[in-house]
């Protein structure tokens, strides 16, 4: 059980706290071989049926918490927000509401509008929703100094418990370090009642972890990036937990959704442990993010994040296999694209997004060790590097089967990306972040164009 001190001002019950999550809540671990003491500052967490009626039990007493600001969009207001508002007012809380327009974005424009139109000075923000609303809740809590309670409405992504927020700044999607919610309440009946695509998307987002973990290990070996075995272990445990219930997720079983959301929360905690998104986001996420920022220029409406990530995960797995089979590098590395070349390559992007991308690409070019030094490390340590990566990728066996069972797309064609667009995506996505992934490895080795030309990304080719 978690011992909570009186200064939180919260009523206390651990009846709905999953045992797998309990060790991480609001207390430091005993230390880690990475040299850091990990502490996840989530104070209260409940997962179970009917908990939408119990949200007041997870918050301070009305006199202790100050004004509450409930944040939702039209869909999440209907799914849970209206009922949460009613129970909070019945419990005596002074509550204000901000229901955003349909399909809001977590971007600089929306955040500025929210801050400008705040109806109160909140002591707590109650974010009722999933990805976008959860990220806006984190950002708003950070800017106002309020505490954050997130009430989940869909098992569609793994960001609920993470220490980051996905944010679009100047047209480019980035991640910002951000405190996780102090309180998370998950009603599994609400999750199971959400559109089935959302649960499948959450499963797709979660099953990227073997590939993102491989990218993190690769970056550790080639660039010396710090790595945390505890974060990797928690992320891997989350994936194994969810994969057992792929069929139940497809059929909408509440128990399977309970397993899925527990795994998604664990995945978010792995990011809080790492202090970054590295254990849960690699090249597959860059493919999804690039599809999002290219939506207007490519005249293609983006699909759900987890759907795009599911396909990206399988494509990155094929890219790893392609590079492994090609053998160690021979000859000099290919030249890096300069700003002029990148402006042409990414000309379809909005102007602000293009400038932000160029800044990220410049930072990546200035990383040490540089491309020549990385290639030397690859030549000298080829088998050792692949032994480490293959060990991580061992958990990727059967991913396509499990994704299909849960109802996730597994082909570019299923997310409206034709072969020509797939090639453009694979060539461009790596430039939007300085993080090193399998896409950068393929470019360093001079084999990304061959992977695209041979359609090795397409299991049906």
| pLDDT tens digits, one per residue of 32-50 | 888 887 878 899 999 999 9
Structural domains in the chain (count): 2
DSSP-derived letter for residue 100 is P
36 in a structural domain: yes
For the segment 245-255, the average pLDDT, to the nearest whole number, is: 89
**What pLDDT score was predicted for residue 173?**
85
User: Do 165 and 67 share a domain, yes or no?
Assistant: yes
In this structure, the answer to whether residues 279 and 160 fall within a common structural domain is no
* Domain-terminating residue out of 174, 194, 214: 194
Are 257 and 386 contained in the same domain? yes
pLDDT given for residue 312 in this prediction: 98
Per the structure block, which two tokens stand in for 261?
Answer: 């959301």
- Note the residue count of the chain: 461
**H or E element: which one contains 176?**
strand 172-177
pLDDT tens-place string over residues 329-372: 988 889 999 999 999 999 999 999 999 999 999 999 998 999 99
Indicate if the pLDDT at residue 3 is higher than 80. no
The 10s digit of each residue's pLDDT in 285-299 is: 999 999 999 999 999
Q: Are residues 292 and 166 in the same domain?
A: no
Distance CA 203, CA 252 (A): 12
Other CB atoms within 10 A of residue 227 CB: 18
Which domain CATH number covers 332? 1.20.1090
Pick 192 or 39 by higher pLDDT.
192
Residue 70 lies in a domain: yes
State the pLDDT confidence band at 20, using cuts at 50, 70 and 90. Answer: confident
Q: Are residues 269 and 148 in the same domain?
A: no
- Please tell me the distance from the alpha carbon of residue 440 to that of residue 250, in angstroms, as a whole number: 34
* 1 SS3 class: coil
List beta partners, residue 98.
Answer: 71
- HEC letters along 4-56: CCHHHCECCCCCCCCCCCHHHECCECCCCCCCCCCEECCCEEEEECCHHHHHH
Calculate helix-pair angle for 371-393, 305-326, nearest 10 degrees. 110
For residue 309, tell me if it sits in a domain: yes
Same domain, 295 and 440: yes
- At 28 the pLDDT is 64
Strands 95-99, 172-177: pairing is unpaired
Residue 8 binned pLDDT confidence (cut-offs 50, 70, 90): very low
Which tokens is 245 given? 């219930």
Distance CA 335, CA 370 (A): 12
- 181 & 279 share domain: no
Which of 129, 164, 194 terminates a domain? The answer is: 194
In a domain, 219, yes or no: no
Position 63 scores a pLDDT of 73
Nearest to 376 by CA among 426, 331, 315, 422: 331
Nearest C-alpha neighbor of 103 from the set 351, 320, 295? 295
The tens digit of pLDDT for each residue in 100-124 reads 999 899 999 999 999 999 999 999 9
| Domain coverage including residue 82 | 6-194
Same-domain pairing of 267 and 174:
no
What is the structure's pLDDT at 64? 82
Same domain, 255 and 171: no
DSSP string, 290-335: HHHHTTTTTT-----HHHHHHHHHHHHHHHHHHHHHH-S--SPPPP
Q: Domain check: are 144 and 274 in the same one?
A: no
Examine the pLDDT at 7 and tell me if it is beyond 70. no
The CATH number for 87's domain is 3.40.50.1970
Give per-residue pLDDT as tens, 420-451: 999 999 999 999 999 999 999 999 999 999 99
3-class state of residue 165 by DSSP: strand
pLDDT one-digit tens code per residue, 49-82: 999 999 999 999 987 879 999 999 999 999 999 9
Whether 181 and 285 map to the same domain: the answer is: no
Answer yes or no: pTM beyond 0.95: no
For residue 96, give the nearest of 81, 116, 76, 78 by alpha carbon. 81
Domain contains 209? no
Residue 326, in any domain of the structure: yes
In a domain, 226, yes or no: no
Please give the structure tokens belonging to residue 113.
């509008």
Rounded mean pLDDT of the chain?
Answer: 91
Handedness of CA 344, 345, 349, 351 (dihedral sign): negative
Residue 233 within a domain: no
Angle at 27 between CA 21 and CA 31, to 5 degrees: 95
Q: What own/partner pairs with CB < 8 Å and gap ≥ 24 does 365-370 have?
A: 365/336, 367/223, 367/434, 367/436, 369/222, 369/223, 369/224
Helix (H/G/I), strand (E/B), else coil: 3: coil
> Are 300 and 428 contained in the same domain?
yes
């Amino acid at each position: 059980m978690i011992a909570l001190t009186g200064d939180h001002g919260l009523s206390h019950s651990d009846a709905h706290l999953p045992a797998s999550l309990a060790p991480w809540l609001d207390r430091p671990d005993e230390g880690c071989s990475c040299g850091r003491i990990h502490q996840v500052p989530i104070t209260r967490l409940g997962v179970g049926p009917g908990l939408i009626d119990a949200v007041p039990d997870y918050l301070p007493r009305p006199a202790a918490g100050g004004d509450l600001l409930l944040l939702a969009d039209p869909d999440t207001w209907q799914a849970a927000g209206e009922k949460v508002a009613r129970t909070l007012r019945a419990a005596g809380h002074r509550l204000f509401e901000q229901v955003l327009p349909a399909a809001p974005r977590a971007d600089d424009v929306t955040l500025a509008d929210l801050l400008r139109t705040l109806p109160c000075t909140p002591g707590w923000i109650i974010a009722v929703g999933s990805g976008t609303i959860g990220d806006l809740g984190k950002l708003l809590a950070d800017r106002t100094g309020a505490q954050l309670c997130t009430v989940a409405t869909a098992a569609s992504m793994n960001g609920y418990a993470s220490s980051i927020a996905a944010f679009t700044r100047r047209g480019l999607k980035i991640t910002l370090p951000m405190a996780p919610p102090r309180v998370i309440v998950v009603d599994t009946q609400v999750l199971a009642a959400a559109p089935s695509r959302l649960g499948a998307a959450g499963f797709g987002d979660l099953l990227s972890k073997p590939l993102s973990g491989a990218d993190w290990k690769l970056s550790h070996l080639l660039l010396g990036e710090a790595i945390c075995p505890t974060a990797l272990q928690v992320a891997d445990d989350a994936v194994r937990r969810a994969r057992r219930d792929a069929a139940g997720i497809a059929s909408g079983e509440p128990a399977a959704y309970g397993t899925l959301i527990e795994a998604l929360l664990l995945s978010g905690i792995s990011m809080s442990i790492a202090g970054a998104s590295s254990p849960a986001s690699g090249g597959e996420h860059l493919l999804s993010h690039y599809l999002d920022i290219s939506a207007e220029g490519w005249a293609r409406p983006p699909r759900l994040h987890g759907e795009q990530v599911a396909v990206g995960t399988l494509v990155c797995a094929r890219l790893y296999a392609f590079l492994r089979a090609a053998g160690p590098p021979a000859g000099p590395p290919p030249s890096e694209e300069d700003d002029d070349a990148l402006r042409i390559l990414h000309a379809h992007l909005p102007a602000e997004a293009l400038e932000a991308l160029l800044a990220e690409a410049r930072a990546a070019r200035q990383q040490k060790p540089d491309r020549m030094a990385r290639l030397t490390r690859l030549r000298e340590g080829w088998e050792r590097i692949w032994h480490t990566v293959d060990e991580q990728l061992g958990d990727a066996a059967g991913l396509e089967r499990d994704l299909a069972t849960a109802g996730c797309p597994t082909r570019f064609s299923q997310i409206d990306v034709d072969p020509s667009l797939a090639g453009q995506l694979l060539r461009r996505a790596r430039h939007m972040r300085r993080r090193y992934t399998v896409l950068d490895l393929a470019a360093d080795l001079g084999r990304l164009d061959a992977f695209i030309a041979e359609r090795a990304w397409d299991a049906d080719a």
